[in-house]
Structure 1
Amino acid sequence: MKKIQKFGSFAGVFTPSLLTILGVIMYMRLGWVVGNAGLIGAIVIIGIAHVISITTGLSISSVATDKKIGAGGVYYVLSRSMGIPIGGSIGISLYVGTALSIALYLIGFAESFNDFFDFGKTINDLRITGSIALVAITILALISTSIALKTQYIILSAIVVSIVSIVFGTRDFVPETVSMVATEGAVPMEIVFAVFFPAVTGFTAGIAMSGDLKDPKKSIPKGTLWAIGVGLVVYISLAIFIAVSIDSETLKSDYNILMKMALFSPAVVAGIWGATLSSALGGVLGGPRILQAMSMDKVTPKVFSKGKGRNNEPVNALILVFIIAEAGILIGELDVIARIVSMFYLTAYGFINIAFFLENWANPDFLPTFKIKRWVGLLGFFACFAVMFKLDMIAMLVALAIIASLYFWLQRKEVKIQSNDVWGSVWENIVNKGLKKINANAEGQSSWNPNIILFSGRSEHQSYLLELSKTVSGRTGIVTNFKLIVDKNNSKPLKKSEQIVTDEAFSDLGIFARQIKVDNIYTGIKNIATTFGFSGVEPNTIMMGWPKGLEDSKEYAEMTEALLHLDYNLLYLDFDKRTKFGNYKAVDLWWRETDSKNAEMMLNIARFIIASPRWQETNIRVLFVNNNNVDNAIVYDKIYKLVEDLRVDVEIEIINNAVQQKAFYDLIEKYSATTDLTLVGIPNYKIEQQAEFIVKTNHLFETIGSSLLVKAANNFNVLDLDFIKE
């Protein structure tokens, strides 16, 4: 049995890439670029275009020396780095773009071929010639990839001969002075750049052959960078030669000037044909391999993963490339499609660069043998999208919209591969750096960012407690719910994987959920409050249901004492099963002179409540009990200023209680009987008075709707509610 034939750097990467780079633009438009932009302008355009090709070439080379590169080229790299949704969406776009670009190359070939032999220049004539050429190179690719690649040597030779023929050609067009900058009547620079830019695309043609390479990690960097480098030297050298050999007016008006000045014009014709046919052949060889790789990953139909022969040639995928390319040839007018195709390539290059940057920045396992600075990838990423925006914003938006649609489709399809993408490392890196930053600034934090430990239990109204905990935590707060499983023997703890709860009730709200074994509920709560959390995101609030019937529980009293000692904010919800949260329209905050810290915490909670979609139309009242016959205007002004400082829109109501001296809870019963949610501060009391407090509070909760008891930790500011001195 014959050994599977694999290719090296020169045949597998350098040659197909260089032949795509040295294409029609070089022969038919480089002179026009120099004529309109001047020599300096042309060199600047060539340089800017090569910023993208060089940064992308460096990025792909670095990634290629870290990962095992399989078949599929750019698709394989992106899918293994950034995941199937991004890799697949770019891969599909590249596949279609590659197939349609074949049509563009062959239409260019047909124009030159028909003009040379005077076969006719109508759109039908171009269709016939282009279709015949497509059939020929498809048959060549079907017969043997090896023969197709060896054919490229002949084409490369033709290009070299044509360049030599141009350099040693006639000097009939030498200008009196060389135009260094754009002259009057020249085409704007951005249009000139747009025309030239396709010349530097195509260096990924060799990467698409990754599955057919002997040593991809060696061949991809070597072949790609040499192809880009040689292309850069050729374009700059030829631009200088053209500028000093031909006057700018001739360059602007005559696209075939290189053919006319050549020592042997048929050599230039052969170069044009070779360049167009080799570029088309590169698409015929590379495009099917992208689709084959995607089909092996189940991104596209499995039928396209099948190949023939010992090299597993992608026959089915090649047939689809032929159909798409032929459709492009039959359409004939491909200006709009060409713009979109260019955007697909630029988008792919942009994602290659950002994939390298993220791998280098976030992935601790990223250890390429070809090392470059990570800013190279970031520069390439921004350069790609800056060029896209400048060239054609509408085409850019269309390309991004198509890629986004493919991305969301693949996300919903939930294709899985046996490979970890970079996003896990990215989020870990961001979280790590964020935690360090938060921890470093912890001393200076003045606002409350809730990090809640929630004990919701299992009851029919658990969902409301979960809902309120998420409301109280705001957009950036964290809620972690603990389910406590009582195991008196506590023989073996749950495995780490078993402690994670994946219930939709929690995930839909964005609540983290855990379950652990405990030998006692109250001891378990105390232990969790003592040990849970880590630097940067230490939990600061305990939330649970209001404990009815525990007024005589010594264990509950000890747990409460421990939580107060640990200096947690405490939130207890008494949920009214009958009224629930009513219409989410009314919230009361009850203040008294002793509620100095609780008052500020209530205002913070009120801010988060108002921001919640369910509570957006609620009316929030601050009710202050004036027990000392202080002038209501003074009290109102002071409370208004305190509320205004915290940017909470509330209604302030002063309750005169100096004469009647009604009990605080009696006033709550009177004024908040129909309130949807009432917030009441827990006063400072000795732990032995807890039973009395619970009994009184239970009685209150029987007469009003859902209520939230609040006990603020010491980090809250003291709001001066003592108006006697006023």
Structure 2
Amino acid sequence: MPLNLKRLLPHRPAKTSKNRKFGTFDGVFLPTLLTILGAVMYLRTGWVVGNAGLLGGLLIITLANIITFCTGLSISSVATNIRVGAGGSFSIISQSLGLEVGGSVNLPFYLAQAISVAFYIFAFTEGWQSIFPDHPATLVLFAAYGACYLVAFVSVELAARIRYPILLIVSFSLLSAFLGATSYFRAEPLYSPQLWGNFPDGTFWEIFAVFFPAVTGVLAGVNLSGTLKKPRYSIPRGTIGAIVVSYLVYMVLAYWTSIVATPEELVTNFTVMINKAAFGWAIQAGILAATFSAALNSLVGAPRVLQAMAAHDIMPLGKFLAKETAAGEPRNAMVITGLIGIGTLLFGLGGNGLNQIAPLMTMFFLITYAVLNSVVLLEQSLGLTSFRPLFRVPRLVPLIGLVGSVFAMYLINPTFSLIATVVILALYEYLSQRQLTAPWSDVRSGMFVTVAEWAAKRVLSLPSGQDRAWKPSLLVPIQSAAALRYSYRFLEAITQPNGSLHIIGGYESGQREQMAGLLSYEQAFAKDGIFARVALVEARRFRYTLQTAMEVSTSAFFRPNTLFLPILPDSDEEKLQFIVDRAGENHLGVILYVDNPNTALGREQVINVWMREQSPDWQVGLRLPNLDLSLLLAYQLARNWRGQINLITVVEDKAQLKNARHYLNQLMELGRMPTTTRPIVAACAFEAFLEQAPQADINILGLQQRVNLAFLERMMNQTEASCIFVRDSGYESALV
């Protein structure tokens, strides 16, 4: 299948010059910085320092930023390794772990973003009413939301332009705060900072949990990846730059609050910045600008995540939500996001419900961060050559980001952390059943190959235990699709639930198309829970090709352990003997299947296992004389059919009847055969008892050294049932 590069590129086509692309500063740095420097910075930084003291506050800020900084580094690393399409985190996660993981993580993340708009608008309204208390709260609420939505709806370019005056307002508010500590604007002397606080409002980690959501805006710029000129270039620089600058601002601000007010004042007065700044109105303007900016960034970023998911059929109405204007604006996704925002506002007006679900929104942000760190950690651990980012980070970085994100989740709210995890796992299960098709490959196959290689090396370093680890793994040579149909039900019965099939379809030159139908059996067996693989091989003399296949398989880790051959009307005795001998040389068990055309597998209930007389030694040893594979196959059939096993042995001397019964009872006990197993002993000629034995749906007999097709057919006719003739490989045991 040819690689479709267009589908690997961002989903929005650059159709006209109107579809403007953004650079590092306006596309990533600015939205990320303004989201981090939000209302919490103005209203909670002083409270953190008042509780924890200067050193405690700086430590809390640093720990929170270590988590986001490591996450930012992880995002930067993976962004320089792939073509980041629209949707930011969705694109990154999906290209690494598959659409199922990308969708299950980012669908709640999208909803969290869409709902968080209402939180920012409520905060904006509170700030506005602190300045204009006579203005109706509901009117201010919907006016602010309408203005914010209108800007986002018109274009991402308009939103980008508005960020510049917002940046000026926020910058001036910070300048006003710092000037408030100078002697020109302050009459009383500065305070000596309290280095370690008394934590009156909670423990160190409880204060950390309150502060941490302030720094969870690192994806604000990443989510606009589809609007960037060079995502691979801009995402690392813009994201890391915004995290570093915001960290420095918080650190300086923490020091400022510790010297302009007492710890008691910092703890009890959330508006201390307004009171202590050179111009209090500038802080109020900063709060309004920060909350409006955060709402705007969410309204711009969330629809693009929704559109990217819709383009890959993650949700219903995919085609509708994936549409965009000629300028690349996801208008339909904007409408849905806007309706979610309005619904959340109405819900918030109805009571205090928003505060109850606020921690859940934070959980979805943190899970997204955890998965992004997991992507990098996994890619680094696998050591695949496809992971060669231009920006490399030590393995410790994503590990800290992952552990820190999970730690913060359960620290902030263990209950909501569990709920969020369950929601994402449920979504993953749902999307997995959808069997989504992605236009890119991901690392999941590489991950399982690496695990399998590690397991193989570990197994090979341990003492051999093939008999204990035995399960049916059949090599099935086929020269016509009809032959596989002939054996299908029996193969299904002896390999479920954990067996496997290695089917080799042999064809002569120019006849490949006639065998192509075999490939469909992979999916047919897979639906029944059976791992099956089909290989088509051109071969003039199929038995020699099969010999080569058996020899090569001996060096494979997941090698077949049993050769399965259906006996067909045109089977050649000499060729069968050759193949059976080669199977023995390569330590493969052998099953020759003779289907009774009149009864097939009958009622699929009764299995007769025929055992030759063991005279004079009727002792059950660790190795049974060509019985291990027969008993294991009988057990498989009885388990899948919920049937009954008859263990039958025929002796010539009646004096051996007691020994024979004791032998069969021992075999049943040591072999842990099902309770429905019956021992049957007769004293007569073997073939004379064939017609007297209980009627079975299938008979299992030992295979002689020489293949005798006439004997095989006679057994099938005399028992009036299908038969299998079995030879052990020496590597299976029914007694372990």
CA distance in structure 2 between the aligned counterparts of 1:58 and 1:163, rounded to whole angstroms: 27
Which segment drifts farther, 492-501 or 195-204? 492-501
Q: Does the CA-based 8 Å contact 1:95-1:291 persist in structure 2?
A: yes
Between the aligned partners of 2:515 and 2:713, the Cα distance in structure 1 is 39
**In structure 1, what is the equivalent of residue 271 of structure 2?**
256
SS at match of 1:148: helix
CA-CA distance at 1:163 after TM superposition = 3.2
Task: Tell me if 1:596 matches 2:612.
Answer: no
Aligned residue in 2 for 1:724: none
Relative to 1, partners in 2 of residues 1:390 and 1:473: Cα closer, same or farther, differing over 3 Å?
A: farther
Pair 1:472-2:487 in alignment: no
Question: How far apart, in 1, do the equivalents of 2:664 and 2:191 lie?
Answer: 85
Contact 1:453 1:481 in 2 (8 A): yes
**Amino acid paired to 1:274:** A
**3-state SS of the aligned residue for 1:276?**
helix
Alignment of 1:291-310 (within 5 A): 291-297=306-312, 299=314, 301-308=318-325
Deviation for aligned residue 1:453: 0.9
Measured after TM superposition, the shift of residue 573 of structure 1 is 2.9
Indicate if the aligned counterparts of 1:591 and 1:680 stay in contact, CA closer than 8 A: yes
SS at match of 1:334: helix
Distance in 2 (CA, whole Å) between partners of 1:126 and 1:165 is 28
Decide whether aligned partners of structure 1 residues 466 and 357 sit closer, same or farther in structure 2, where only a CA change above 3 A counts. farther
Instruction: Supply the AA of the counterpart residue of 2:38.
Output: G
Q: Please give the secondary structure, in 1, of the residue aligned with 2:503.
A: strand
Question: Any conservation in 1 of the 2:471–2:498 contact (CA below 8 Å)?
Answer: yes
1:32 equivalent in alignment to 2:54: no
> Match for 1:506: what amino acid?
F
Could you say which residue in structure 1 is the equivalent of 2:68? 53
Q: Does 1:420 align with 2:448?
A: no
Partner of 2:173 in structure 1? 162
Any conservation in 1 of the 2:703–2:726 contact (CA below 8 Å)?
A: yes
CA contact (8 A) 1:101 1:280 kept: yes
| Cα displacement string for residues 214-251 of structure 1 (whole angstroms, at most 9, x for unaligned residues) | 32212110110121222233334434554565444443
SS at match of 1:29: helix
* Structure 2 match to 1:323: 339
User: What residue is the counterpart of 1:723 in the other structure?
Assistant: none
8 Å Cα contact 1:70-1:211 kept in structure 2: yes
Give 1:343's match in structure 2, choosing from 344, 348, 363. 363
Q: 2:526 aligns with which of 491, 499, 507?
A: 507
1:26: how far off? 1.7
Please give the residue correspondences for 1:120-519 in structure 2 after superposition, counting only pairs within 5 Å.
Answer: 125-142=136-153, 145-167=156-178, 168-169=180-181, 178=194, 180=196, 182-183=198-199, 186-188=201-203, 191-243=206-258, 246-297=261-312, 299=314, 301-308=318-325, 311-332=327-348, 333-362=353-382, 363-374=384-395, 376-404=397-425, 406-407=427-428, 410=431, 416-438=437-459, 441=462, 443=464, 445-447=466-468, 448-455=470-477, 465-473=487-495, 475-485=497-507, 487=508, 490=509, 500-501=519-520, 504-509=523-528, 510=530, 511-519=532-540
Any gaps of 5 or more consecutive residues in structure 1? 721-726
Give the letter aligned to residue 525 of structure 2: F
Per-residue CA distance 1:334-389 (angstroms, 9 max, x = gap): 22443332222222222222233344444422221001234533443444344334
Contact 1:63 1:368 in 2 (8 A): yes
Q: Secondary structure at 1:155's aligned position in 2?
A: helix
Secondary structure at 2:524 match in 1: helix
* Cα distance in 2, alignment partners of residues 360 and 30 from structure 1: 37
Q: Is the 8 A contact 1:623 1:652 kept in 2?
A: no
Q: 1:717 to 1:323 in 2, by over 3 A?
A: closer
Return the letter of the residue paired with 1:158.
I
Distance 2:600 2:65 in 1: 65
Structure 1, 517-526 or 337-346: larger mean CA deviation: 517-526
1:636–1:652 Cα contact (<8 Å) kept: no
SS at match of 1:365: coil
Residue 159 to residue 240, structure 1, CA distance change in 2 (3 Å) = same
Q: Which runs of 5+ in 2 are unaligned?
A: 1-15, 616-622
Query: How far 1:265 sits from its partner (Å)?
Result: 1.7
The AA in structure 2 aligned to 1:103 is A
Is the aligned partner of 1:99 residue 2:114? Answer: yes
Shift, 1:206, TM fit:
0.9
Provide the rounded CA distance (Å) in 1 between the counterparts of 2:198 and 2:66.
22
Query: Cα distance 1:27–1:15, how it changes in 2: closer, same or farther (>3 A)?
Result: same
* SS at structure 2 position matched to 1:702: helix
Q: Distance in 2 between matches of 1:718 and 1:195?
A: 61
Looking at structure 2, the residues matched to 414 and 432 of structure 1 have their Cα atoms a distance apart, in angstroms, of 26
C-alpha contact 1:574 1:701 (8 A) present in aligned 2:
no
Contact 2:41 2:214 in 1 (8 A): yes
Once the two structures are TM-superposed, the CA of residue 712 in structure 1 deviates from its matched residue by 0.4
Deviation, 1:525, is: 4.6
- Selected match of 1:555 from 575, 579, 601: 575
What amino acid is aligned across from residue 62 of structure 1 in structure 2? Answer: S
Identity of aligned residues (%): 27
| Cα deviation code 1:575-616 (max 9, x no counterpart) | 445555455554444444398243233343355446x5x33x
Instruction: Tell me how far 1:502 sits from its aligned partner.
Output: 5.0
1:12 aligns with 2:32: no
Task: Say if 1:88 and 1:407, in contact at 8 Å, map to a contact too.
Answer: yes
Report how far residue 133 of structure 1 moved.
1.3
**Partner letter of residue 275 of structure 2?**
K
| 2:719 alignment partner, SS class | coil
Which of 712, 716, 720 is the equivalent residue of 2:728?
A: 712
Tell me, yes or no, if structure 1 residue 565 matches structure 2 residue 585: yes
Q: Which amino acid aligns with 1:252?
A: V
Total equivalences in the alignment: 698
What TM-score do you get using the length of structure 2 for normalisation? 0.82
The 1:547–1:220 alpha-carbon spacing in structure 2 relative to 1, beyond 3 Å, is: same
SS in 2 for 1:137: helix
CA distance in 1, matches of 2:516, 2:456: 24
| Pair 415,439 (structure 1): closer, same or farther in 2 beyond 3 Å | same
The residue type equivalent to 1:314 in the other structure is P
Q: TM-score, normalising length from structure 1?
A: 0.83
Give the direction of change, closer, same or farther, for the CA distance of 1:235–1:403 in structure 2 (3 Å limit): same
Aligned residue type for 2:166: I
Q: Which has the larger displacement, 204-213 or 381-390?
A: 381-390
In the TM superposition, residue 428 of structure 1 has moved relative to its aligned partner by 3.8
Bigger CA drift: 619-628 or 97-106?
Answer: 619-628
The aligned amino acid for 2:500 is I
Tell me whether 1:574 sits opposite 2:574 in the alignment: no
Distance 1:694 1:666 in 2: 17
> Does the 8 A contact of 1:173 with 1:246 survive in 2?
no
Whole-angstrom CA distance in 1 between matches of 2:600 and 2:40: 72
CA shift for structure 1 position 199: 0.8
Partner of 2:619: none
Equivalent residues of 1:597, 1:717 under 8 A apart: no
- CA offset digits 1:444-485 (Å, max 9, x no partner): 544224321124777999668434434434544321233444
Deviation at 1:19, TM superposition (A): 0.9
Write the distance in 1 (CA, Å) between the matches of 2:636 and 2:255: 66
1:111 shift after superposition: 0.7
Moved more, 380-389 or 227-236: 380-389
